[in-house]
A and B are shown apart, each in its own frame.
Chain A
Amino acid sequence: MDVETWKALWKIIFIVASAMFYVVVAVVAFKGFGDVTQMMRNMSAGQGASESAAEAKRR
């Protein structure tokens, strides 16, 4: 493969990699926020991490 092809390839790969990264971050941040607030609520109620996990499984 010649150098010009590598240059074009790296540009496409970089744009695709960046787009995938930001899309996943946005989705995970949005969906994970509920889990984080639930975890903090359990902590304020004095629940241990294992107890919270067991309760979540029961639900």
Chain B
Amino acid sequence: MHLSWIDYAIVLVYVGGTIIAGTLARGAIKGISDFLVAGRGLKTHMAVATMVSTGLGLVTVMYMAEEGFKYGFVPFVFGIMALITTLIIGRTGFIVSRLRYLEVMTVPEFYEMKYTRGVRLLGGIILTLAGTLNMGLFPILGSKFVVGFTGLDKEYVNYVMVAMLIIVVFYTLMGGMVSVVLTDFAQFVLLALGFFFGTYIIFNHPQLGWENMVQAVQLHKGDIGFDPIANPAYGISMILFLFCVGLVGVVWQPEMMRPLSAESPKVARRVFWISAATVMGRAMVPMFWGIAALTYFGDPDLDPHYAMPEMLGQILPIGIAGLMMAGMFAAFMSTHDSYLLAWSGVIVRDVISPIKAMLAGSSGEREEDGTWGGLSSEREIYWVRAIVVILAAFLAIFGALYQLPETAFRFMYVTGSIYFSGAVGTIVLGLYWKKANTPGAYTALVLGALVPLNFLIMTENQESVPAFLLPLVENSNLVGLTSFIVGGLAMLIVASLTQRSHPPRSLDFNDMD
């Protein structure tokens, strides 16, 4: 074991405080909008804190570190693309301001406003599939960090995962988004402290420091450890893909819940403008730790999921190690609570509730309390809580059994593309192109999802893949880019051909600030 009792005490105090705050938040839940979007009352700085916390989960730290360990300094390009795209969104309010103006709670809710209930149902199902698959590796990667950092035997990795999930599920069930926001704020500060001390100690460690790390990357990776254009795993296709994901990725429900919880469309946009300054650091600091682990152990064949936390566990002094552990626990919780809540919200509001409304034959009008004629507000909260528990159980089983096709980073991006690709046509064009209509939305959703889904299936069955499709199996960047293009083109072509038979619904944004 690498840690002392002082370190464990710090972690316990933090976890205890989180549970108490989450329990207190139960009193603030009076309806579904309180539970899912905290009553749409978030002010700028709270919204920034909670958005940064969610975007910087332990899984993010793990897969960013893995990229640094495997590809050296090249993945830093991810941070640069994230900065550019977040600045564009912050300056223009691209997508976020308009969705906030429409007062939706989930992204597929927009589909019912712009298209039909059927599109909402299909969008909800695809988003649920993409979201749960994407989240499948979160708990196990978090657990690997804890096991590597503390020096526990690796056979405990599944038990640690289940214990951490139980804590998150408990406080998320209590206060929904209010719990998430409150705990995210503490997590935001702890995470930053963990980042600061971890990086400071790496910089000043005799075996590490910038120059030693540069030499290690040169030794193990060569020039392609520094040049993103020359590196075959990155290159122009990856850079373009990162740009597209950065812009369209904002429609990812856990990400979008913050602007949707903001007190106005203006605040929603400002949240991105301010948090843009953090996105490069959020990506590059964990990558830097990954490179440090490569330098420290000097063996590129090690499992990076264990190498980085093991290095931190060995070099951090007592007290700082506890702070780091609490910070990483915070990172684990801040992402899991938001994701569990986001996907459960989508399953209930965009799959279960529309089916009930269809069966009951109710009209497609939004009620005062934010429901759409399916489940009542109280029943929606009940079902969201139930789905949070079911999802957590699914994640525990998936994490224990699934084997990664490439790196965790690429798995996240390909599974995310199942939804993002359709979103180009349905949301981006739906918000900004007057001709976007229902047949175009159906086609964009289905075709956009098929390309990355095929990739996942083909990766599992490579021996039966035809030779001309092998590039798609070997290079996930191509899959991502292709699916974006397919999703966007599908809407443009089909909507243009069906304008007379399916006239588009218009949305009015003239009063928007």
**Closest-CB distance, A49 to chain B (whole angstroms):** 3
Given contacts A25-B188, A50-B34, contact A42 B73 (CB under 8 A): no
B49 touches A32 (CB 8 A): yes
Q: Which of B339-372 contact A (CB under 8 A)?
A: none
B226 touches A36 (CB 8 A): no
Docked pose: A48 CA to B27 CA in angstroms: 7
A50 touches B280 (CB 8 A): no
| Interface presence of B453 (CB below 8 A) | no
Given contacts A14-B76, A25-B278, A52-B39, contact A46 B185 (CB under 8 A): no
Q: Which of B180-203 contact A (CB under 8 A)?
A: 181-182, 185, 188-189, 192, 195-196, 199
B76 touches A13 (CB 8 A): yes
List, in ascending order, chain A residues with CB within 8 A of B192's CB: 21-22, 25, 29
Given contacts A21-B192, A53-B41, contact A36 B185 (CB under 8 A): yes
Contact residues on B (Cβ < 8 Å of other chain), bracket? 35 or more
A46 touches B278 (CB 8 A): no
A32 touches B45 (CB 8 A): yes
Contact code string A16-50 (vs B, CB < 8 Å = 1, else 0): 11101111110011011001100110111011111
List, in ascending order, chain B residues with CB within 8 A of A57's CB: 263
B188 touches A24 (CB 8 A): no
| Interface presence of B210 (CB below 8 A) | yes
B226 touches A3 (CB 8 A): yes
Docked pose: A17 CA to B284 CA in angstroms: 8
Residue of B nearest to A46 (CB): B27
Residue from the set B73, B196, B282 with the largest chain A CB neighbour count within 10 Å: B73
Docked pose: A35 CA to B214 CA in angstroms: 43
A20 touches B277 (CB 8 A): yes
Docked pose: A24 CA to B83 CA in angstroms: 14
A48 touches B227 (CB 8 A): no
Given contacts A20-B280, A36-B182, A50-B31, contact A43 B188 (CB under 8 A): no
| Interface presence of B248 (CB below 8 A) | no
**Closest-CB distance, B164 to chain A (whole angstroms):** 24
| Interface presence of B330 (CB below 8 A) | no
Residue of A nearest to B185 (CB): A36
| Interface presence of B114 (CB below 8 A) | no
| Interface presence of B151 (CB below 8 A) | no
Residue of A nearest to B26 (CB): A43
Docked pose: A23 CA to B274 CA in angstroms: 11
List, in ascending order, chain A residues with CB within 8 A of B154's CB: none
Docked pose: A32 CA to B46 CA in angstroms: 5
A50 touches B40 (CB 8 A): yes
| Interface presence of B491 (CB below 8 A) | no
B33 touches A18 (CB 8 A): no
B281 touches A21 (CB 8 A): yes
**Closest-CB distance, A33 to chain B (whole angstroms):** 8
The one of B41, B226, B277 in contact with A24, judged by C-beta atoms closer than 8 angstroms, is B277
Given contacts A13-B284, A20-B277, A28-B45, contact A6 B73 (CB under 8 A): yes
B189 touches A14 (CB 8 A): no
| Interface presence of B28 (CB below 8 A) | yes
B280 touches A21 (CB 8 A): yes
B40 touches A53 (CB 8 A): yes
Residue of A nearest to B176 (CB): A49
A24 touches B285 (CB 8 A): no
List, in ascending order, chain A residues with CB within 8 A of B38's CB: 49, 53
B189 touches A29 (CB 8 A): yes
Which A residues fall within an 8 A CB radius of B?
A: 1, 3, 6-7, 10-11, 13-14, 16-18, 20-25, 28-29, 31-32, 35-36, 39-40, 42-44, 46-54, 56-57
Pull 12 A–B residue pairs with CB atoms less than 8 Å apart, ordered by A.
Answer: A6-B226, A14-B288, A17-B280, A17-B284, A20-B281, A24-B278, A29-B189, A32-B49, A42-B28, A49-B33, A49-B39, A50-B30
